Amino acid sequence: MMIVMKPTATEEEVEAVLDRVRDAGARAHVINGEELTVIGAIGDREHVARLGLEASPGVDRVLPISKPYKLASAEIAHGQRSVFDIGGRPVGGPHFALIAGPCTVESRQQTLETARVVRDAGATLFRGGAYKPRTSPYAFSGLGQEGLRLLAEAKAQFGLPIVTEVMDARDLEAVLEVADVIQVGARNMQNYTLLTEIGRSGCPAMIKRGLASTLEELLMASEYILKEGNESVMLCERGIRTFETAYRFTLDLMAVPVLKEMTHLPVIVDPSHAAGRRDLVLPLSMAAAAAGADGIIVEVHPAPDEAICDGPQQLVAAEFGAYADRVRAAAALAGKLDTESIASETLQLT
Ligand code: PEP
Ligand code: MN
């Protein structure tokens, strides 16, 4: 159930409703919007309905949440979009996040060089994997703890908050030392015990859509994190499997406007893993930004030909500044703030 407070409701009135919901054995989640507060009561619907909360001071309405994903649903946010503070950077709502960095942390020099380049080009967050999901068990699977140490060094030196993947809950504690956003890889989207642990950690998370997952399944995955009281979840479209064989995955750009209809959570697009090819990354990024994505996560490497993994798709660091300008210009078209000063001529395709 969703308890919509009046815009004039006081903190005490909100607290009183929370106490009653919890006493009825339900979990209460507060969503503080700009104009009003909404309380999501997750538990036995009948118990909550019997409380007669409509009559409580400060309560405007009590409504059922019709979707199976409750806390993620657009309904509960009453038209407001979630905005998170990630290490001092706003993500979501009117803001456009450019998340960039290598596929994997390979060495000190490669990590610091890429962090410097993307910081200078105005990236919002720095990405890099220390734990890598690989199709082959014989392939390089990341530097692990040493990779985390290098990410911490990049953060200390260049100030960009870090997005990094955790594959196994046993590594969570170590990853939390450096991560500002925990990435859940596409292959782990339905690892529910991992999602629950990330929810409990309270660390902002980005969930990548599974290779063959529906948008509803993606939202149900986010619900596992949200239900633990962790409100900061971003969703990422990274390409899905279709019958098409001319490219690696099919980037489902329709997911951008449709997810934004379904949920208040920020929607990020990863063109790199969808394409698997560098030359497709710019047009896909521009299309995603123009479609209203809240951000792009993209792979960048100083010398992609020498990269240990995903070389063919990583942008060349020296070309990243020009790429970033074009993508921000496309985001400006979709009405994102922080991008408006970008001249429309940057949009011209050459
Ligand atoms: C990645 O971001 O490096 C990655 C492995 O992504 P995905 O889980 O989408 O394949
Ligand atoms: Mn990669």
- Quick: pLDDT tens for 144-160: 999 999 999 999 999 99
Of ligand 1's listed atoms, the one at least distance from the Cα of 127 is 2
> pLDDT value at position 45?
79
Closest residue by CA, ligand 1 atom 10: 186
Pocket of ligand 1 (CB under 6 A): 103, 129, 133, 185-187, 208, 238, 270, 273
Print burial letters for 225-255: b (CB count within 10 Å at least 16), e (below 16).
bbbbebbbbbbbbbbbeeeeeeebbebbbeb
Mutate to test the pocket of ligand 1, among 135, 183, 194 (most ligand atoms within 8 A of CB): 183
- The rounded Å distance from CA 101 to ligand 1 centre is 12
In this structure, what are the phi and psi dihedrals at residue 86, rounded to the nearest 5 degrees? Answer: -110, 100
pTM: 0.93
Q: What is the predicted pLDDT for the residue at 344?
A: 45
Extract the residue ranges of the chain whose pLDDT is less than 70: 338-350
The pLDDT, as a whole number, for residue 205 is 98
pLDDT of residue 35: 82
Answer yes or no: are the C-beta atoms of 326 and 313 closer than 8 Å. Answer: no
What tokens appear for 288 in the block?
């995603």
Q: Whose CA is nearest to atom 9 of ligand 1?
A: 186
What Å distances lie between residue 196 and 158, 211, 222, 228, CA to CA? 31, 21, 10, 7
List the Cα angle 237/230/285 in 5-degree steps: 20
Alpha carbon of 15 to ligand 1 centroid (Å): 41
Look at residue 160 in the predicted model and tell me its pLDDT: 98
